[in-house]
Amino acid sequence: MRVALLLLALMSVTDAREQQPKCPAQTSLFGAALQSLESAWLRSAENTRCWSFAVKDTDGEETVNMNAVRLNSGHMLPSVGLGVYKSASGGECYQAVLSALKLGYRHIDTAQIYGNEADVGRAVADSGLPRDQVFITTKMWTSNWGFDKAAAGIRQSLAELGTPYVDLFLLHAPGDPATRADTWRALEEAVREGLIRSIGVSNFGVPHLLKLAETASVKPAVNQIELHPWQQRPDVVAHCRAEGIVLEAYSPLAKAQKLGDPVVRQVAERLGVTPAQVLLRWSLQKGFVPLPKSNSPDRQRSNLDVFRFELGAEDMATLDGLESGLVTGWDPIANNPV
């Protein structure tokens, strides 16, 4: 374990210009023995699809340690993203994204229905960061379903975002079963055209995923669903893990409804962190990719500062015990037809 920790400490990406985070070549400092250990670690990282890398804020003053997971498409997904749901189009969303990128976020999650794709694109462009250093996700709204409408919707999102490609494009919900397969086919075609790098779904339950698999040529890389200690979706989580589909957690803070929970507060106080950090750390240790939303630079910074501590097994079990089936917003998993 000590050797593994030493290796992890030594391995970081120092060239921020690389397209995807990866482990740099090992120097000859420790010779053949250490190279052998490194090879074993790389095999382990590949199996778990979990990697560590480092980014600097846009002033180059502070390094933020970040993890990433490898999607089944081969691309790397930074393991904490900024959600912009209900970030008002115009100044609010633009400033939130610009602030997050300055602080070290490299993963922004938007959607057609949010009405702020243009603000996200403008902030990414104005950040000064190369496009390939920022992972952008957007989602296809159900009004754009059907092959032709979806193909046009993809191009409209690219125009709004001001980018030649999107890193991840999701179906926002299971939607209409009659047009779901053709809509997915439009995403697959856009991948072949180089307009999208990875495709996935959001708010899909196990029956929806099984139905999609009957016609899909490309397996979803991601399923983005509401996940937090009060809504754990064990059936969906187990299925996605078995199929190699990464789970993204939206509303990982339960829309701030549970930040005052005494169990969470007790863990936070003992560890010297915030309740929000406890919930985000729980999500990470579950293997999820949380997407906290905040327009405040201070809270954005705090939400990103979740790689310096861990929750013990007892704390994780205690938080697991909070399951109550809480849904803080909509529930297409339960309400959309298969």
Report CA 182 to chain centroid distance, whole Å: 25
CA–CA gap between residue 170 and residue 208 (Å, rounded): 14
Structure confidence at residue 26 as a pLDDT band (50, 70, 90)? very low
Structure confidence at residue 174 as a pLDDT band (50, 70, 90)? very high
Is the pLDDT assigned to residue 334 strictly greater than 80? yes
Q: What is the pLDDT of residue 238?
A: 98
Is the pLDDT assigned to residue 145 strictly greater than 70? yes
Q: Which of 91, 44, 82, 51 is nearest to 69 (CA)?
A: 51
Identity of the residue numbered 257: Q
Largest CA distance in the chain: 60
Is the pLDDT assigned to residue 11 strictly greater than 60? no
pTM, rounded to two decimals: 0.85
Among the residue ranges 51-55, 88-92, 147-151, 311-315, the one predicted with the least confidence is 51-55
Q: Residue written as tokens 């009060």?
A: 230
Q: How far, CA to CA in Å, does 97 sit from each of 39, 85, 294, 335?
A: 37, 12, 9, 32
What residue spans of 87-176 are helical by DSSP H? 91-103, 117-126, 147-161
Q: What is the pLDDT of residue 59?
A: 63
Residue pLDDT, tens place only, 180-191: 999 999 999 999
Q: How would you label 106-130 residue by residue, b for 16+ Cβ within 10 Å and e otherwise? A: bbbbbbbbbbbbbbbbbbbeebebe
Catalytic site includes residue 165: no
Please state the rounded mean pLDDT for residues 147-162.
Answer: 98
The catalytically annotated residue of 94, 105, 114, 250 is 114
Is the pLDDT assigned to residue 15 strictly greater than 50? no
Q: What is the pLDDT of residue 67?
A: 87
Is the pLDDT assigned to residue 16 strictly greater than 60? no
CA–CA gap between residue 43 and residue 52 (Å, rounded): 14
Q: Are 134 and 165 in contact (CB under 8 A)?
A: no
Q: Are 54 and 12 in contact (CB under 8 A)?
A: yes
What residue spans of the chain are helical by DSSP H? 2-10, 31-48, 91-103, 117-126, 147-161, 177-192, 206-213, 234-243, 262-271, 275-285, 297-304, 313-320, 332-335
Residue pLDDT, tens place only, 34-83: 344 333 333 333 333 455 666 665 565 655 677 899 999 999 999 999 99
